[in-house]
Structure 1
Amino acid sequence: MITAIDGGYIVAFDGEEHRILRDGIVVVEDDRIIYVGKSYGGPVDRRIDARRSLVSPGFIALHSHICGGHGETGRRGDGSRRQLYNSDLFDRMFPRTREAARAAAELNYVEVLKSGCTTLVELGSPNALGNKEAVELPDRNGMRAYLLRMYGSGSWHTPDGNRVLYTNFDGETWDETPGFKGLDESKAFIKEYDDSADGRIKCLLGPSTVDMCSKALLRESRKAADEMGVGLQTHVSQSVVEFQEIMRRHGMTPIELLHDVGLLGSDLIAGHSILIGGHSKVGYADPWRRDIKLLAETGTTVAHCPQVFARYGIAMESYARYLMEGVNIGIGTDTYPMDIIREMGLAATLSKIVEGEPRVATSRDLFNSVTLSAAKALGRDDLGRIAPGCKADIVIVKMNSINMSPVRDPIRNLVMSGNNGDVRTVIIDGRIVVEDGRVPGVDEERLAENLQREQERIWDMLPSTTSSGEPSTR
Structure 2
Amino acid sequence: MRTKISGGTVIAHKDGGHRVLDPGVVVFDDDRIVSVGPSYDGPADKTVNAAGKLVIPGFVSTHAHVNAHEGSRLITDLGRRDVMRSGFLNYTPNGGPEGRPIVAAASPEHSIRFGFAQMIRNGVTTVLSFGAGSRDDPKLMTDLAEESGLRVYYAPQCTAAENFFDADGRLRPSWDEATGFAQLERAARYVQDHHGKFDDRLRGLINVRNYVLATVPLMRRAKQLADDLGVQFTTHFCEQLFEFHETVRNYGITPVDLMDAEGLLGPNVILAHCVYIAGHSSTTWEYSSDLEKLGRSKSVVSHAPVAYLRRGYNLEGFERYLAHGVTMSMGTDVMPHDMLGEMRAGALAAKWFGKNHEVGTAASFFDAATLGGATAFGRDDIGRLAVGAKADIVVLDFDNMQIGPVYDPIRSLVHLASPDLIETVICNGRTLMQEGVLTNYDERAVVAGGKRSFAQVVDQFPQRHWSGQSIDEVFPTSYPRW
2:144 partner letter: L
Equivalent in the alignment of 1:108: 115
Counterpart contact for 2:112–2:133, Cα < 8 Å: no
Using the alignment, how far apart are the partners of 2:219 and 2:137 within structure 1?
Answer: 24
In the alignment, structure 1 residue 62 sits paired with structure 2 residue 62 = yes
1:232 aligned residue: 233
Would the aligned equivalents of 2:106 and 2:454 in 1 still touch at CA under 8 Å? no
Of the candidates 125, 131, 138, which is equivalent to residue 124 of structure 1?
A: 131
Q: 1:396 is matched with which residue?
A: 395
Maintained 8 Å contact 1:33/1:388:
yes
**CA deviation string 1:319-367 (max 9, x = no partner):** 1211122211001111111111110111101000000011111111011
Deviation digits for residues 300-328 of structure 1 (CA, Å, limit 9, x no counterpart): 00000101110010111021211122211
Q: What residue identity is the alignment partner of 1:252? A: I
Say if 2:111 is the partner of 1:89: no
Q: What CA distance in whole angstroms lies between the structure 2 residues aligned with 1:150 and 1:239?
A: 19
TM-superposed deviation, 1:464: 8.8
**1:29 paired to 2:3:** no
Give the whole-Å Cα distance in 2 for the aligned partners of 1:158 and 1:405.
51
Specify the alignment match of 1:377 in structure 2.
376
For the pair 1:146 / 2:147, whether they are aligned, the reply is: no
CA distance 1:4–1:268, shift in 2 (3 Å):
same
In structure 2, relative to structure 1, the CA distance for the partners of 1:265 and 1:130 (3 Å cut) is same
Q: CA deviation at 1:59?
A: 0.7
CA distance in 1, matches of 2:104, 2:125: 28
For residues 455 and 347 of structure 1, the distance between their equivalents in structure 2, rounded to whole angstroms, comes to 28
- Matched residue SS, 1:426: strand
Q: Distance in 2 between matches of 1:277 and 1:469?
A: 40
Secondary structure, counterpart of 1:241 in structure 2:
helix
Query: RMSD across aligned C-alpha pairs, in angstroms?
Result: 2.0
TM-score calculated relative to the size of structure 1: 0.93
Distance 1:451 1:129, change over 3 A: farther
Name the aligned partner's letter for residue 281 of structure 2: S
Answer with 381-390 or 277-286: which moved more: 277-286
Aligned residues of 2:208 and 2:214 also touching (Cα < 8 A): yes
Deviation at 1:162, TM superposition (A): 7.8
Q: Any conservation in 2 of the 1:36–1:386 contact (CA below 8 Å)?
A: yes
Alignment match, 1:41: 41
SS at match of 1:75: helix
**Hey, what does 2:97 align to over in structure 1?**
none
CA displacement, residues 401-449 of structure 1 (integer Å, 9 cap, x when unaligned): 2211111111111111112111110111111111111211422222222
112 and 49 in structure 1: CA distance in 2 versus 1, 3 angstrom threshold: same
- Counterpart contact for 1:2–1:45, Cα < 8 Å: yes
Counterpart of 2:480 in structure 1 is: none
CA contact (8 A) 1:126 1:149 kept: no
* Structure-2 residue corresponding to 1:204: 205
Paired residue total: 465
Give the match for residue 270 of structure 1: 271
Give me the TM-score of the superposition, normalised by structure 2: 0.92
What are the Cα deviations for residues 112-148 of structure 1, in whole angstroms up to 9, with x where unaligned?
A: 1111111011111374582222112122121011113
Deviations 1:157-202, CA, capped at 9 Å, x for gaps? 343788542112xxxxxx4311101101111111111110010100
| Pairwise CA distance, 1:271 | 0.5
Decide whether the 8 Å contact of 1:65 with 1:335 is kept in 2.
yes
> Judging changes above 3 Å, is the alpha-carbon distance between structure 1 residues 466 and 312 closer, same or farther for their aligned structure 2 residues?
farther
Map 1:433-448; keep pairs closer than 5 Å: 433-448=432-447
Q: What is the aligned partner in structure 1 of residue 96 from structure 2?
A: none
- Tell me, in whole angstroms, the C-alpha distance in 2 between the residues paired with 1:203 and 1:85: 32
Contact 2:13–2:386 (CA under 8 A) maintained in structure 1: yes
What SS does the corresponding residue of 1:148 show, helix, strand or coil?
A: coil
1:329/1:468 CA distance change after superposition, 3 Å: farther
Local SS of the residue matching 1:370: helix
- Structure 1 unaligned spans of 5+: 169-174
Task: Tell me, in whole angstroms, the C-alpha distance in 1 between the residues paired with 2:7 and 2:145.
Answer: 28
For the 8 Å contact 1:156–1:167, the answer to whether it is kept is yes
Matched residue, 2:414: 415
Is the alpha carbon distance of 1:190 and 1:464 closer, same or farther for their aligned partners in structure 2, counting shifts above 3 Å?
Answer: closer
Counterpart position of 1:74: 73
Q: Which amino acid aligns with 1:280?
A: S
d(CA) in 2 for partners of 1:465, 1:354: 39
Q: Is 1:454–2:453 an aligned residue pair?
A: yes
1:167 aligns to what SS in structure 2? strand
Amino acid at match of 1:38: P
Aligned residues of 1:403 and 1:417 also touching (Cα < 8 A): yes
1:10 is aligned to 10
Q: Aligned partner of 2:111: which letter?
A: A
1:137 aligned residue (135, 138, 144):
144
Q: Does 1:186 align with 2:187?
A: yes
Counterparts of 1:349 and 1:162, CA distance in 2: 36
Alignment-derived partner of residue 259 in structure 1: 260
Structure 1 residue identity aligned to 2:451: Q
Task: Decide whether aligned partners of structure 1 residues 42 and 100 sit closer, same or farther in structure 2, where only a CA change above 3 A counts.
Answer: same
Inter-CA distance 196–209: structure 2 relative to 1 (3 Å threshold)? same
Q: Point out the more displaced range, 347-356 or 96-105.
A: 96-105
Measure the CA separation in 1 of the matches of 2:440 and 2:81: 45
Name the CA distance, whole Å, in 2 between partners of 1:252 and 1:80. Answer: 30
Q: 2:292 matched to which residue of 1?
A: 293
Whole-angstrom distance in 1 between the partners of 2:380 and 2:361? 23
TM superposition shift of 1:227? 1.4
